[in-house]
């Protein structure tokens, strides 16, 4: 069962991991125009940066919602999509965290998808 502390720990771990990935990416990026990296490397660095932003936003929102849920107690909000439904802030934080994992999976697939067929062909040659 996901309780509030587990959600906050998962959010913090994912955000820390993404920030470490972002730090490594920028450490490996070229420092001047004289360094020849190529368009593919520059595009990959930009893609990783977007992946970091897209991943951090839902996990940060999830953590904020869980904290607000604890501050306000069991107060509920009314969500008006597909009919009026009542949901607590903590439960909404869980759903936002799940959407963050989905965004991370889609982002990694988009980032690695074009590279997989080439690596598969190269691995079959050797």
User: Smallest Cα–Cα separation from 63: which of 94, 29, 32?
Assistant: 94
Domain total of the chain: 1
User: Domain range holding 65?
Assistant: 4-125
Longest Cα–Cα distance in the chain: 61
Give burial (CB, 10 Å; 0-12/13-18/19+) of 62.
Answer: buried
Question: What pLDDT shows up at residue 57?
Answer: 94
Question: What pLDDT shows up at residue 62?
Answer: 93
- Per-residue pLDDT tens digits of the chain, which is 126 residues long: 778 889 999 999 999 999 998 888 777 776 665 565 666 667 777 788 888 888 899 999 999 999 988 887 766 676 666 666 777 888 889 999 999 999 999 988 887 777 666 665 666 675
Question: What pLDDT shows up at residue 126?
Answer: 56
Question: What pLDDT shows up at residue 63?
Answer: 93
Question: What pLDDT shows up at residue 119?
Answer: 60
Give burial (CB, 10 Å; 0-12/13-18/19+) of 90.
Answer: buried
């Amino acid at each position: 069962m996901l309780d509030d502390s587990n959600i906050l720990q998962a959010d913090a771990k994912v955000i820390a991991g993404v920030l470490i990935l972002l730090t490594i990416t920028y450490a490996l990026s070229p420092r001047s125009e004289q360094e020849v990296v190529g368009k593919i490397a520059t595009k990959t660095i930009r893609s990783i940066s977007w992946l970091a932003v897209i991943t951090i936003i839902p996990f940060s929102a999830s953590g904020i919602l869980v904290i607000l849920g604890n501050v306000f107690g069991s107060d509920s909000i009314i969500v008006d999509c597909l009919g009026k439904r009542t949901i607590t802030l903590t439960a909404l934080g869980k759903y936002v965290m799940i959407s963050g994992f989905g965004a991370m999976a889609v982002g990694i697939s988009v980032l690695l998808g074009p590279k997989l067929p080439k690596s598969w062909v190269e691995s079959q040659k050797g």
